[in-house]
Structure 1
């Protein structure tokens, strides 16, 4: 059997483990000025049946649907609620900040997470995750979410940033990419340290009910938040505790295929904004875990990352002081929201 045919057969076999089946996108009563649940059919790879479902929370500002949709892609061990963290009167809600400014947002649960389909974990790779996002982009443009959005911009966090880069560079179907908590040089000590915390999601009472009971390849990482994701002097301990208590599962296929995103950014031909906290442990030198990406200033971050993009990406960079990996959940989250909004208003105005 040829290699391509063997891979295709393996992927088709994985379809049998999916708990959800193909169908048209469904939308629960999308209303202007509010939020609704959506479900979009997606495939594990181009040309395969779209027999997975990607859940999303679509939020629209008041009035007619805007022409710009921000498609929000969370990181590993998170789900769509990262973008609209409950409580604190919206202080930590990226969604609220953007819808208040007139943008539509769609925060998805990535493949293998939360309310989205959970295929065989080894099949939920970075490539499969990017293909699923591509299917959501296609639905957003064609009216599969209710309104049709002429412009779609990916907004990623951490592993969701890597997925967003891979999707944009592979499919070239979006109008822009904003990533946070990411760079091209992951600190070498992070993965070994995280491995000491990783356990099967089946054995974690927080995540056990959401994963297939016979698939040990779905993982949970309890105890990682405070160590890796926050700049503690500027974080609320209650937020960290709530974040830890609501952690999500991650499929091992995604975690095992991280490097595939690295060359993909050379294929991006739309504007890119990369935003990091100065003290991001996984992806910045200042985080102290060994990354060589310099997050001291906007200019130093640009110098570290520019070689991974062509001029067509029009790369811009921003560094958020007194912040770590989880920009949405630091006390100064509003600084990140303002920098992101400024870029959107210059590049993708809703006016």
Structure 2
């Protein structure tokens, strides 16, 4: 099955991407839009025929039944091949650090988000991962996942935009950067690739980072996994309250396939993703500008994606807010419960990583979207303090 990534509207949208971020030291990050042409093949899932892909109600009922364990969403597999354009933002360091000159952080967002979240939605320097990392001497590349952000939404959200294809795409993308092949639009080879992942949804964090680490244990030099643990609270996941993106945002997503979904309840989204100390203007902006998730990303979230990458032995750090109701403790529960889950995550998911190479941090008074809380700068500081031990 061939997938074509056509996107004539991207040139117009590229103009709205910010090219400068203020850094924490008062200088500026020099940022520019980039795109990668990636050829990839994956064994995607064949979804159950028990729902009507053209009917929004049928799609939502199928997802809800799947979340309750009432239906098996996958009935087989099929090969998907194609050429895909992956867009992103590349930022150069604002401080020269010799040992980091070949170190690149690849920043990957979660479902219903895109690469713009790493810049903090322009709510200031305190939420801007790029600016902090660039001020520490790192190059950063925030990418839009397949079907998200500036990437084409002409692709099939049922059969094409699924986790396994995304894994293969990012494997090819990272290899192009590591070995400076023709697909590397950065035109610079980076020998140290640090994968920084933002996770949202039913074990969604494992869908890319874990298979990458399992299939290619030497592809990345370190992992920083945020908003995730090896334990998922399914009762929270079932509250997503999804609707077709074209129904919720008809002017932004006119005529989009019904399998492209978004969260329909603003108050519920704020409750799930935010807690305690945060700017109240951010959740409203977050909801109004949310991106999508596809039914394929939800339904194909099974099989190999939760298998621990036993051979991976590089440094790993997990950062999850104490009040992250999906992956850590429920609001009001002692912080130690969250920390115990993050401690347990190493033995559950990274048995090959020595204890001395594994760290976790659970910021207090912080929900799932930890980089958009007041504690964000402490998160940045802890993450880069960890990386400084190795780069």
Please report the TM-score for the alignment, with normalisation by the length of structure 2. 0.74
**Cα deviations across residues 225-272 of structure 1 (Å, max 9, x unaligned)?**
3121111x2111111111112100112211222234211433433221
Q: Which residue of 1 aligns with 2:213?
A: 168
Runs of 4+ in 1 over 6 A off after TM superposition: none
Superposed counterparts of 1:1-351, under 5 Å = 12-13=1-2, 15-16=3-4, 18-20=5-7, 34-46=30-42, 50-62=82-94, 66-118=101-153, 119-122=155-158, 123-143=160-180, 144=184, 145-159=186-200, 161-162=205-206, 163-172=208-217, 173-194=219-240, 197-205=241-249, 209-210=252-253, 213=255, 215-222=257-264, 223=266, 224-231=268-275, 233-259=276-302, 260-287=304-331, 296=337, 298=339, 301-312=342-353, 314-347=357-390, 349=391
Superposed displacement of residue 298, structure 1: 4.3
Q: Distance in 1 between matches of 2:256 and 2:165?
A: 21
Superposed displacement of residue 112, structure 1: 0.9
Query: Match of 1:91, SS?
Result: helix
Q: Distance in 1 between matches of 2:359 and 2:221?
A: 15
Per mean C-alpha deviation after superposition, the further-off stretch among 90-99 and 42-51 is 42-51
- Can you give the 5+ residue segments of structure 2 that lack an aligned partner in the other structure? 9-16, 21-27, 43-78
Superposed displacement of residue 294, structure 1: 7.9
Per mean C-alpha deviation after superposition, the further-off stretch among 254-263 and 241-250 is 254-263
Aligned residues: 320
Query: Match of 2:193, SS?
Result: strand
Q: Distance in 1 between matches of 2:326 and 2:352?
A: 26
The answer to whether the 8 A contact 2:146-2:152 is kept is: yes
Query: For the structure 1 residues 60 and 205, does the alpha-carbon distance in structure 2 shift closer, same or farther, using more than 3 Å as the test?
Result: same
Q: Distance in 2 between matches of 1:201 and 1:156?
A: 24
Q: Distance in 1 between matches of 2:358 and 2:94?
A: 32
- Can you give the 5+ residue segments of structure 1 that lack an aligned partner in the other structure? 1-11, 22-27
Query: For the structure 1 residues 155 and 161, does the alpha-carbon distance in structure 2 shift closer, same or farther, using more than 3 Å as the test?
Result: farther
Query: For the structure 1 residues 94 and 62, does the alpha-carbon distance in structure 2 shift closer, same or farther, using more than 3 Å as the test?
Result: closer
Superposed displacement of residue 287, structure 1: 4.5
The answer to whether the 8 A contact 1:41-1:135 is kept is: no
Greater share of residues in strand: 2
Superposed displacement of residue 132, structure 1: 1.6
Across the aligned residues of Structure 1 and Structure 2, the Cα RMSD in angstroms comes to 2.9
Greater share of residues in helix: 1
The answer to whether the 8 A contact 1:111-1:117 is kept is: yes
Q: Distance in 2 between matches of 1:267 and 1:257?
A: 24
The answer to whether the 8 A contact 1:61-1:103 is kept is: yes
Query: For the structure 1 residues 295 and 51, does the alpha-carbon distance in structure 2 shift closer, same or farther, using more than 3 Å as the test?
Result: farther
